[in-house]
Amino acid sequence: MSTETTHARVTGRPLLSERRSVSQRSQFTGLYARFSGASPALVQSMFHTNSYTAFLLPGVLATSMLTVGMFGSMSTIQDKRFGFMKRILLTPTTKATVYLSKVLGSTSRGLIQIPVMILAAALFGVSFQGDPIMWAGWILGIFFLGLGMSSFFLAVTASSTDWQTPGVISNFITMPLMFASGALLPLANFPAWMQAIASVNPVSFSALLGRGIVVFGTVDWSYLSYLTLFATGMLVVGTAVARRFLKAE
């Protein structure tokens, strides 16, 4: 039996966290769908589409991947508190293997939100553009974003046993990354200093990649390239940190 399964039975946290995350994103989309009731001319002039829900969907999916790393790092800390991590590290399993399994597990759970949010958007009347290859590239971009953020969070909390640490780091990182991106509003409306941050923000690239496909039926593969580099860099650095600092308790 895996530690994730055992941990879920003991604490119920991973399943609860995932349900809470999916629920929050569904409510988020539903709330902002009300913007669709605004003047069509206003929506068109601001977002270059007649549906703010379609504009918002890629941004919501991008910002949702910011939290998957936090839940993964909380799971790791709980494993330490309940002694699961110590049992694992007593086996020939390496710290790098434990770290990579946690990263992939967190990212995979985050992907569950994609069909849920797409279905919710369809129920709100969104008509989707793009072909299957574009959509596969977008989903891959979301995966890379989640992989990078999970790698970051798990690396930062590798030596921690305080369950509050992931939440503190998340509050410090998530909000600036979310609002200093093109996830919720067009970058053209941002001041120059926020546009500078958004130009290197991985959330922006994931949102822009998906928005081009969903709203306009076009794709800029350079966004996917950036997300690939971001995920690879975070994964390499995080693995090195885990080998050095991951503790059993």
pLDDT higher at 23 or 142: 142
Domain containing 138: what range? 3-245
- The predicted-structure confidence for 114-127, as pLDDT tens digits, reads as follows 898 889 888 888 88
Q: Which pLDDT score, from 0 to 100, does residue 9 have?
A: 45
- Burial (CB < 10 A; 0-12, 13-18, 19+), residue 95, is buried
pLDDT higher at 10 or 152: 152
Stretch among 12-26, 116-130, 137-151, 198-212 having the lowest mean pLDDT: 12-26
Confidence of residue 162 (pLDDT cuts 50, 70, 90): confident
Nearest CA among 30, 22, 130, 31 for reference residue 71: 22
Q: Which pLDDT score, from 0 to 100, does residue 10 have?
A: 43
Query: Distance between CA atoms of 59 and 204, rounded to whole angstroms?
Result: 8
Q: DSSP letters along the chain, please? A: --HHHHHHHHH-HHHHHHHHHHHHHHHHHHHHGGGGGS-HHHHHHHHSSS-HHHHHHHHHHHHHHHHHHHHHHHHHHHHHHTTHHHHHHTSS--HHHHHHHHHHHHHHHHHTHHHHHHHHHHHTTPPP-S-HHHHHHHHHHHHHHHHHHHHHHHHHTTT---TTHHHHHHHHHHHHHHHTSSSSS-GGGS-HHHHHHHTT-HHHHHHHHHHIIIIIS---HHHHHHHHHHHHHHHHHHHHHHHHH----
Q: Which pLDDT score, from 0 to 100, does residue 31 have?
A: 44
Confidence of residue 37 (pLDDT cuts 50, 70, 90): low
- The predicted-structure confidence for 184-233, as pLDDT tens digits, reads as follows 878 887 888 888 888 899 999 999 999 899 888 889 999 999 999 999 99
The total number of structural domains in the chain stands at 1
- Whether the predicted pLDDT of 8 surpasses 80: no
- Burial (CB < 10 A; 0-12, 13-18, 19+), residue 245, is middle
Query: Distance between CA atoms of 233 and 236, rounded to whole angstroms?
Result: 5
Stretch among 26-40, 106-120, 122-136, 231-245 having the lowest mean pLDDT: 26-40
pTM of structure: 0.80
Stretch among 86-90, 110-114, 216-220 having the lowest mean pLDDT: 86-90
Amino acid letter for position 92: P
Average pLDDT, rounded, for the chain: 79
Q: Which residue has the tokens 């946290």?
A: 13
Stretch among 87-101, 158-172, 182-196 having the lowest mean pLDDT: 158-172
% of the chain exceeding 90 in pLDDT = 18
